[in-house]
Structure 1
Amino acid sequence: MIEVNDLTKRYGSTTAVDALTFTVRPGCVTGFLGPNGAGKSTTLRMIIGLNEPTGGSVTVQGRAFRRRPRGLRHVGALLDAGDVHGGRSAAAHLGVLARTNAIPLRRVGEVLDEVGLDAAARRRIGGFSLGMKQRLGIAAALLGDPPVLLFDEPLNGLDPEGVRWVRDLFRRLAGEGRTVFVSSHLMTEMEHTADRLVVIGRGRLIADEPLAAFAARGAGARVRVRTPDASALADAVQAAGATVTRDGDGVLLVGGLGSDQIGDLAFEHRLRLHELSVTSASLERAFMELTADSVEYTAGEASAGEASVREAGDAR
């Protein structure tokens, strides 16, 4: 579990992360979304102790990451696939990480095989494609068999087969009870991979909720509800601020509330539900609408704030 409490990071007069509070729980894939300049990479770096917070705190499994002497046994992270020594072989790179974290060297071969790089184990990393470097970074994250995993844009450079493999890998890791936190700008992949979302803009929290609930907040999204108590449920959701359209006998199309909220209202009013599903929901559309006020710059026009953060070394 990752617990972020009032986390803040400033670079001079620029606030990259502004009083963020959220929890990433085990057993599901949590997507981490935000426009460019939102503070995602800075947040990830603070989680694993690469950046010192200006204020607030972040713990992993109840402790600050810096207090763990064998970090890769507790947290595996891929933040920059290119941040490796090009003159080393893949096996040598992982071997160094294994020795410094008291991890059995047999794990090097195991993770290289798992990510599909066993045949390239003795090749120099400098000759790897971006997709191969991504796979090597994932291998490094898996090396210590940790309960918590962080990935920043892990799909860059991967071909369609590689994307599908990563998607299945994340779901398997979450199914094993691990905490999986993935930052990505690929909305389609988030729709197929994430169970929950943490969304930030200008360093502030915008949403922390199930993916379906977030997508349902976008214009045009509707939740289809089939119930023998249609009139009573319509009254209940309208009282909560939703819009309701009838779509046949016992079927309601509800806008403005997520499926979880509708289910809770039905439970509170003791109303039976025969179907509850999100229709016409687009994560990309909801993301664009709900983060519109948090975009740092438009095409061709970078803000002064973004430039300041870049100079301070903040990637996003």
Structure 2
Amino acid sequence: MPGPAATGTVGSVIEMTDLTKRYGAKPAVDGLTCTVRPGHVTGFLGPNGAGKSTTLRLILGLNAPTSGTVTVSGKVFRDLDRGLRHAGGLLDAGDVHPGRNGWDHLQALARTNDIPRRRVAQVLDEVGLAGAAKRRIGGYSLGMRQRLGIAAALLGDPPVLLFDEPLNGLDPEGVLWVRTLFRRLAAEGRTVLVSSHLMTEMEHTADRLIVIGRGRLIADEPVADFAARSTGTSVQVRTPHPAAVRDLLAAAGAEVTTEDAETLRVTGLPASRISELAFEARLLLHEVTTRTASLEAAFMELTAASVEYAAKAEHAASGKSGAAR
């Protein structure tokens, strides 16, 4: 199979314009407009019920939009011949016939997309399933089914790739392998869109984020810019004079909490100002370190109003289920 160097990935973008999908009166995707470009891994985030899976199905033509458009490389996916050569996707690792073996499953996909038989062996080897190719899929673990789904996505060597929760069931070695794979695919100039609820993994894997809530766009920006939206940035201060430093910084308007005998957590003042105040007061500091906000903290803050179902803390504490919002 020719790789992206041969086929080219120029224009291999996913373009959504006012994309809307309604089920009855309720919109699952609501006027979504954004572009997923080649050359980097784009994380696709949102609370449960935000419309992520529906959006992925709309991109791949598995559902039709109520209004608006979504195109892959400038065309509606359903209008593309031999679709797996244009875009590959892992949406549900369990959506395979359990009575088939891995080889037959991929071979059927290859035949319907005019993909050479040798490519089946190549992708099975790439995902680590060459030794299990003739085993029935019903006997695969969840992690093995995830690998098979990734193999199917790669089968046509497409310039556009979509993955919905690809890390489910993978062990640490598998997670590292997937992370490396996605980065390599992006470095080859492909468009890689990854939907995941694992914030820490997105920090390690994604370059950009598209965040939605209740089907609407919340953010479309680099990971670092999104994380910087959080109000959780703080400064860790280590000193042999914690009480004096705490009083000094509090008087300057900072919020100060004690983490241990010699460590303070400070918000409201930058590290440079903390150092200046301590120097002027002749108080020794052993450490002044800025702790940037985590992606998870920013995500929780920005999507709080878009959570479909949230348990109220006071009800959870009393053993009662929280009300849906």
TM-score, normalized by length of structure 2?
Answer: 0.77
Does the aligned pair in 2 maintain the 1:28–1:171 contact within 8 Å? yes
1:6-85 matched pairs, under 5 angstroms: 6-85=18-97
User: 1:111-162 CA deviation, whole Å, 9 max, x = no partner?
Assistant: 0000000000000000000000000000000000000000000000000000
- Per the TM alignment, residue 221 of structure 1 is displaced from its structure 2 partner at its CA by 2.9
1:168 to 180, 186, 210: 180
What are the ranges of 5 or more consecutive residues in structure 2 without an aligned counterpart? 1-12, 236-267, 277-289, 312-320
State percent identity of aligned pairs.
74
Q: Which residue of 1 aligns with 2:208?
A: 196
Where does residue 121 of structure 1 map in the other structure? 133
Aligned with residue 229 of structure 2, among 217, 238, 245:
217
The structure number with the bigger radius of gyration is: 2
- The equivalent position to 2:118 in structure 1, one of 91, 94, 106, is 106
1:135 to 115, 130, 147: 147
1:280 Cα deviation (Å)? Answer: 1.4
Q: Return the alpha-carbon distance in structure 2 between the equivalents of residues 285 and 195 of structure 1.
A: 18
2:295 is the alignment partner of 1:286: no
Q: CA deviation at 1:244?
A: 7.4
Deviations 1:262-302 (A, max 9, x none): xxxxxxxxxxxxxxxx9512000000000000001113457
Letter of the structure 2 residue corresponding to residue 75 of structure 1: A
RMSD: 2.0
Matching residue of 2:104 = 92
Is the CA contact (8 Å cut-off) linking 1:215 and 1:221 kept in structure 2?
no
Q: Residue 287 of structure 2 aligns with which residue?
A: none
**Structure 1 residue 69: Cα displacement:** 1.7
1:296/1:302 contact within 8 Å kept: no
Shift of 1:3: 0.5
Looking at structure 2, the residues matched to 195 and 56 of structure 1 have their Cα atoms a distance apart, in angstroms, of: 27
3-state SS in 1 of match to 2:109: helix
Alpha-carbon deviation of 1:219? 1.1
State how far apart, in whole Å, the 2-side matches of 1:222 and 1:164 are. 30
AA aligned to 2:193 is F
Match of 1:247 in 2: 272
Deviation at 1:220, TM superposition (A): 2.1
Q: How many residues align?
A: 259
Q: Secondary structure at the residue paired with 1:36?
A: coil
Question: Relative to structure 1, is the Cα distance of residues 302 and 89 closer, same or farther in structure 2, using a 3 angstrom cutoff?
Answer: farther
Aligned mates of 2:36, 2:219 — CA distance in 1: 13
The answer (yes or no) to whether the contact 1:216–1:222 under 8 Å persists in 2 is: no
CA distance in 2, matches of 1:289, 1:40: 19
Q: Partners of 1:41 and 1:303 in 2: how far apart? A: 21
